[in-house]
Structure 1
């Protein structure tokens, strides 16, 4: 039950963060600003940690989300969260080192996370460009 609540809160924070940056965040009149940079970094951090918590919560419930190539023992507690956030970061930034492989429901979650990581830069550039065109 605790895992479901934490996962729901993480998913809600991810959705709110994505909505915030695309709907109500106002940038300075420059095409690129320090505020925009910090907003993007914060958004990526929230998405990465949020999905990491979801992965760790599912793993804690016994639902295998990813498999490690090196047969390391199953981690518990903070180590499991750290591994899950690492897996989330590798997935979000579409790096794919190959040391962790999504399995089961993790395949679908990692596809959703990778789509966010892949399309977010293009969407942010389009938003900034559109705002710049309006301000001209």
Structure 2
């Protein structure tokens, strides 16, 4: 039963995403596949770069701690730092890992990039649509 519900939920999500990106009902709707892929790959690359930075900075001292009363260091593995980087750049911030030391600054920087890049993407799309509308008038 759980697998049927899971498959149904995934299909529902995919159908809604396709509908969102294909719908041209609104007069000013516009989606740039090129800009979307560019945004995705830039965010993905930045996420990996920050994960490498966190991983390297934590060789001598653990830079991530578990958010619990014990506050024990997170196991030093690249996957843990990649997970933390992904959660940070997407501004999810589950709070299961807490940055310490030097990576606190880099975590703030990564979170800011994660907020500003998509905003710049949408501004670029709106600018492109505005230029297109002015040229057609």
Fold shared, TM-score > 0.5 on shorter chain? yes
Instruction: Tell me, in whole angstroms, the C-alpha distance in 1 between the residues paired with 2:99 and 2:44.
Output: 20
Corresponding residue for residue 90 of structure 1 = 87
Corresponding residue for residue 67 of structure 1 = 65
Q: Would the aligned equivalents of 1:65 and 1:103 in 2 still touch at CA under 8 Å?
A: yes
Q: 1:73 to 1:51 in 2, by over 3 A?
A: closer
Corresponding residue for residue 55 of structure 2 = 56
Corresponding residue for residue 100 of structure 2 = 103
Structure whose alpha-carbon radius of gyration is higher: 2
Q: Would the aligned equivalents of 1:66 and 1:101 in 2 still touch at CA under 8 Å?
A: yes
When normalised by structure 1's length, the TM-score is 0.67
Report deviation, 1:73: 6.4
When the two chains are superposed, the root-mean-square deviation of aligned CA atoms in Å is: 1.9
Instruction: Tell me, in whole angstroms, the C-alpha distance in 1 between the residues paired with 2:73 and 2:105.
Output: 24
Q: Would the aligned equivalents of 1:49 and 1:85 in 2 still touch at CA under 8 Å?
A: yes
Q: Would the aligned equivalents of 1:64 and 1:106 in 2 still touch at CA under 8 Å?
A: no
Instruction: Tell me, in whole angstroms, the C-alpha distance in 2 between the residues paired with 1:129 and 1:58.
Output: 39
Report deviation, 1:135: 2.2
Instruction: Tell me, in whole angstroms, the C-alpha distance in 1 between the residues paired with 2:119 and 2:111.
Output: 13
Instruction: Tell me, in whole angstroms, the C-alpha distance in 2 between the residues paired with 1:84 and 1:94.
Output: 15
When normalised by structure 2's length, the TM-score is 0.66
| Structure 2 unaligned blocks of 5 or more | 1-28
After TM superposition, the structure 1 = structure 2 runs for residues 1-136 of structure 1, keeping only pairs within 5 Å, are 31-60=30-59, 62-69=60-67, 71=72, 74-75=75-76, 80-136=77-133
